[in-house]
Structures are given as C-alpha cells and as structure tokens.
Chain A
C-alpha cells in the first residue's frame, strides 16, 4: 500500500500542478465561459481526445520497440501507420463530439450554430493532436533509449498534457472565431 502511494506521488503531483495551470486558464475566462454553456459541454469531451489517442500511440510505439521493429523516428512504417491511424481516430472523434454537443446544447436550450461548434472542435483538436503526438513520440523514443518502463509515468503525463493543450486550443479557436 505504501508502495502504491510512493510510486504515484511524484508523477501525480506533477499532473496536479499542470491541472492547476489548466484551471487557471479556464479561470481567467470564467465569465465568458459561463455565458456560453455549449462550450462548457464541449470542454471535457474535446480535451480528452488528445490524451486518449496520445496514450494509444504511446502504447503502440513502446510495444513495437519492444518487438524490435526499428527504433528510428523518420521513415519508419510502424511510427507512420500508428500516427496516421490515431490522427484519424482523433479527428473523427472530434467531429462526433461536435455533433453530440450540438444536440445536447440544443436539448437544454443553449444551442450554438453547428458550424461554429465544428470549427472550434477541428481547430482545437488539430492543435492538440500536433503537440500531443510530437511529445508522445519524443517521450516514447526517449523512454526506449533510456530503458524506462513507460506505462506508469508516460500515460498520466500525456493525458495531462492533452488537457493543457486542449484547453489552450479551444481558446485559440474561440479567439480566431472572435467569440471571446
């Protein structure tokens, strides 16, 4: 029991600090968020996509390296295929999120035009995926080189990084579309 706590404390403390930074970004725009409930519905679903698909990518890369399928970053078909596949999953999921949020927000009477929700989702997810996947590939290669077991540390970090970049991406999108 002490082992579980001792192993978890360092990484989770770091994810808490990053989580508070994400919270402060939201806090600085709290009043405009509260005036747009559709965006509040969008946030938890959209920021998950980067972390979820990034973890899938990380897990795939680390098992491919374990099996000895090359350890180059560029011109490596395993890296290339996994990257394209998780990017497809991420983009399709973001379109599905925009439809669900549009339905849900209309249901509770805070509807937003569908096209706006789709634009926000695609802009935010594109930023999120580029940053999270680059970090994931870097971390997966580094942990392979230095012989660190990626599961315990890498996945929480990728999930938290996904939250940070996802929230930033949503605000970038809201700024581009002049909504904030």
Chain B
C-alpha cells in the first residue's frame, strides 16, 4: 500500500519536526540563546560609534577617510571571525593544543589572515581613492588612504589574532566550546579595536 506508507512517513516526519521545533527551534529558545550575544555586540557597536564620533576633525582633514571606514571595519570582522572559527575547528581536531610558534597549523592560519588583510587593505585604499575621485568628490590621495587602511588592518589584525588564539585555547582548556565563545567575542571587540586603530592610523597620517 504505497498510499499508507507515505502517510506513515509523513506522520514520522511531522513528529520529528515537532520534537525539533519544541526543543531547539522554538521562537523563545532561539531568542533566549541569541539575544544576550546581540545585546553585548551592540554595546561594542556603540563604543565603536563613540570613537567614530570623536574622529570628526580627522574625517574633515582627510577627505576619503569616511569612504574606507565601512570597508576597514567589515574586512576585519570577516577575516577575524573566519580565523576564530578555523582555530576552533583545529582545536577540536587536536591540531592545536598550545601557543606554539613552531606549530604550522597555528602560524599558517595567523599569517594567512594577516596577509589577506594586507592585500584587502591595499585594494580598499585604492578603490576608496579612485571611486571618490570618479564621483567628483575630494580625496586625500591614494597613498594616504592606503597607508591608513594598511596600518589599521595590520595592527587590528595582530591584536585580534592574539585575542582569538588566547581565547580559543584558553576556553578549550577550561572546558568551553571555543566555537560558542570566540566568534561572538571577536565580533564584539572587533569593531572597537578596528575603529580605534583606524582613529590612530588617521592621527598618524595627519601628523605626516
């Protein structure tokens, strides 16, 4: 009886879905799990915003700085959270157990993310300069914009990599799953660190 077995399958499937929905995917359980992380992340965003609002004189002195700001922040967030999840997987597989300069898994991941950040920062500065000119706005020049985005990307990359490594290894030692801790933490402090480093880089370039 193909018809009946089909109905049994349906019944099985809907039972399975109901169990899943009530335990893991009910609206209240998702909200309870996700809301605290997002509220903490928005506090990080507001701190980054405070730094941003303190940069108004740099924004006026360096035309084009406001153009590269979303890119610098987004880039750092994307690269560092990918690094965090890669470290988490490597720790779970037992490839990384300790902070060890000679561990190729660890150094390749960090160097790779810094190198990627460097290339992207150069691209961001170049694009920032030429697109700004093409739209008829004033730009501080490709050299200054590239210098700002490279300084900001590398310094925030080094800081966030160090935080990601220490957090991932430390959390694992204390019995936490690094995947649950590292990515949200990096997302929160990533904005603060990269905004602060963008501010410092802009200040340095103004002094040139």
Contacts and interface: CB of A to CB of B under 8 A. Distances in A.
Interface of A: 1-5, 8-9, 12-13, 15-17, 19-20, 22-24, 26-28, 30, 33-34, 37-38, 40-49, 52-53, 56, 60, 64, 67, 69-70, 77-78, 81-82, 84-86, 88-90, 92-93, 96-97, 100-101, 104-105, 108, 110, 151-152, 155-156, 159-160, 163, 167
A52 B44 CA distance: 13
11 contacts: A1-B112, A19-B70, A19-B124, A48-B45, A78-B17, A81-B26, A81-B27, A82-B25, A85-B27, A155-B81, A159-B78
A32 B152 CA distance: 26
A40 B53 contact: yes
Contacts of B132: 24, 27
A160 B81 CA distance: 14
B156 interface: no
Interface in B45-78: 45-46, 48-50, 52-53, 56, 59-60, 64, 66-75, 77-78
A15 B46 contact: no
B38 interface: yes
A33 B56 CA distance: 9
Contacts of A47: 70
Given A20-B131, A38-B53, 13 more contacts: A8-B79, A16-B120, A20-B128, A23-B67, A24-B135, A42-B49, A44-B73, A64-B25, A81-B26, A85-B34, A89-B34, A97-B45, A101-B49
B38 A49 contact: yes
Given A5-B116, A8-B79, A24-B135, A41 B52 contact: yes
Interface of B: 16-17, 20-21, 25-28, 30-31, 34-35, 38-39, 41-46, 48-50, 52-53, 56, 59-60, 64, 66-75, 77-79, 81-82, 85, 108-109, 111-113, 115-116, 119-120, 123-124, 127-128, 131-132, 135, 137, 187, 191, 195
A160 B74 contact: yes
A12 B79 contact: yes
Contacts of A37: 53, 56
Contacts of A81: 21, 25-27, 30
Nearest to A85: B30
A106 B199 CA distance: 22
A86 to B, nearest CB: 7
B17 A26 contact: no
A28 to B, nearest CB: 8
